[in-house]
Amino acid sequence: MNRLEFMKELEALLSDISQSEREEALQYYNDYLNDAGVENEQEVLDSLGTPQDLAKVIKEGLSDGGEQGEFTETGYKNEALGEEVKNEIARKERLEKVKAEGDTGTNNARQLSPGMIVLIILLCIIALPAVAGIAAGVIGTGVGILGSILGILFGIAAAGIVLFAAAVILIIYGIWNLFTAPLAGICFVGMGILFGGLSLFFIWLTVWICAKAIPWMIRGIVKIGTRLLRGKGADNT
């Protein structure tokens, strides 16, 4: 039973006492649970017992319809009976005990034995070559792919430059021959224009690879490497 269920059932069980006493009791136990903290909430609820038991104790302390009973932090006083119900003091003592046990358990959980520390170090040493091998493989693959792309890029750029130079030479040579051999001159000019078109295509392709393809491939290589490393880390876990 969680806190919300506990308080709702307690409120229903206290429906036959006065509203002010009921609200005061519910407020008191809400504050009591707030003081315990979320980490100790369930233990405190267990220490309070069932809502039926708690409602019975409250009603016993508030006998005579609440006219002579008084709800206080130290218990439930009833002047008519001349006695005091000490349930709150006992619960506070149990609360302190629960907190102390919780703190002790937390400290024990945080303290690792020398054997555990040695085991963790050995596992890290064993896993290090595998992780390093994967990282080296990913980096090597990425460098190889990038090197191939750069080689292709340089080849395309060189082809564009050579074709552009050949186009200029052919056009100039063709114009020069137009006066002596018109047919040959026209052929040379046509070939120069064709080479010029091809050179412009290769130059455009070089620019596109530099601006679009290479950044996209680098991002893809980094993403694949990250996924591989994360996947290996999950497998080791």
Percent helix, percent strand, percent coil in the chain, to nearest 5: 85, 5, 10
Say whether pLDDT at 165 is over 80. yes
Task: State pLDDT tens for residues 10-41.
Answer: 889 888 888 888 888 888 888 888 888 888 88
Contacts 24+ apart (CB under 8 A), 148-154: 149/209, 149/213, 149/214, 149/217, 152/209, 153/206, 153/209, 153/210, 153/214
Pairwise pLDDT comparison (102 vs 169), residue with the higher score: 169
pLDDT of res. 56? 84
Q: Average pLDDT for residues 154-161, to the nearest whole number?
A: 83
pLDDT tens profile 61-108: 776 554 555 554 433 555 444 444 445 545 556 666 655 655 555 455
Predicted pLDDT at 34: 86
CA-wise closest residue to 28 among 11, 50, 47: 11
Neighbours of 95 (CB within 10 A): 20
Write out pLDDT tens, residues 214-235. Answer: 777 777 777 776 776 665 554 5
What CA–CA distance (Å, rounded) separates 31 from 9? 17
The reported pLDDT for the residue numbered 172 is: 92
pLDDT of residue 169: 92
Greater pLDDT, 44 or 107: 44
Q: Tell me, what's the pLDDT at 154?
A: 78
Q: Are 210 and 150 in contact (CB under 8 A)?
A: no
